[in-house]
Chain A
Amino acid sequence: NAGVTQTPKFQVLKTGQSMTLQCAQDMNHEYMSWYRQDPGMGLRLIHYSVGAGITDQGEVPNGYNVSRSTTEDFPLRLLSAAPSQTSVYFCASTPFRGGQSPLHFGNGTRLTVT
């Protein structure tokens, strides 16, 4: 059981480039989300999805797009990378919409924007 898989593990971009961070889960979880982790700021929610075809913004959505065409996949797109988007990105999923179910995290993508 692979759980939540994120690719790539590391990425370096130049300012203005675009890219997609991939996230896939094989647990048939309804809810998926993207967080960014920055030193001293914990994890902040970027976007989330409560099911295929449904997405919504989190705390820090600017500069990022998401889509959810299948239950398994939830890619995060950076439209025009900026140095402020240098961060570690985590994808997470949970089976239920209710708040009591813990999140299952991927191992992260470390992104550097120069």
Chain B
Amino acid sequence: AQSVTQLGSHVSVSEGALVLLRCNYSSSVPPYLFWYVQYPNQGLQLLLKYTTGATLVKGINGFEAEFKKSETSFHLTKPSAHMSDAAEYFCAVSETSGSRLTFGEGTQLTVNP
């Protein structure tokens, strides 16, 4: 069975500071990995995904994530936080055999002026 753990349910950064949101997964087969963002009162939007190939993945709004198989991690980073980045972020994993996505618990990002 697959599972996802997001370290830190709340992360607070200053505007312009580095954003680092942590995600670790477990999967019995090579996984597909995703980061989604949820703004208040909205559904989830895809930020980026890793399927195969390059392990450093770039997404929208300046975010990127690196797949590290040896560490079973897929941490999300952004060099410089913007106020508009305040949202909840979800890491998710699916196995290559199907579309069942397993989500982490979510990390609420606050950006302080």
Contact = CB atoms under 8 A, between A and B. Distances in A.
Nearest to B94: A99
A40 to B, nearest CB: 6
Most chain B beta-carbon contacts within 10 A, residue among A4, A35, A42, A105: A42
Nearest to A96: B99
A61 interface: no
B45 A100 contact: no
Nearest to A107: B43
A48 B102 CA distance: 13
B101 interface: yes
Nearest to A101: B99
Interface residues of B, number: 29
A1 B95 CA distance: 29
Interface stretch (B13-21, B72-80, B103-111): B103-111
A102 B34 contact: yes
Contacts of B32: 99-100
B100 A42 contact: no
Contact of A45 (B46, B100, B106): B100
A103 interface: yes
Contacts of B41: 107-108
Contacts of B45: 105
Given A35-B103, A99-B99, A106-B43, 19 more contacts: A4-B43, A33-B99, A40-B105, A42-B4, A42-B90, A58-B100, A90-B44, A92-B43, A92-B44, A97-B99, A98-B98, A99-B98, A100-B32, A102-B34, A102-B46, A103-B44, A103-B99, A108-B41, A108-B43
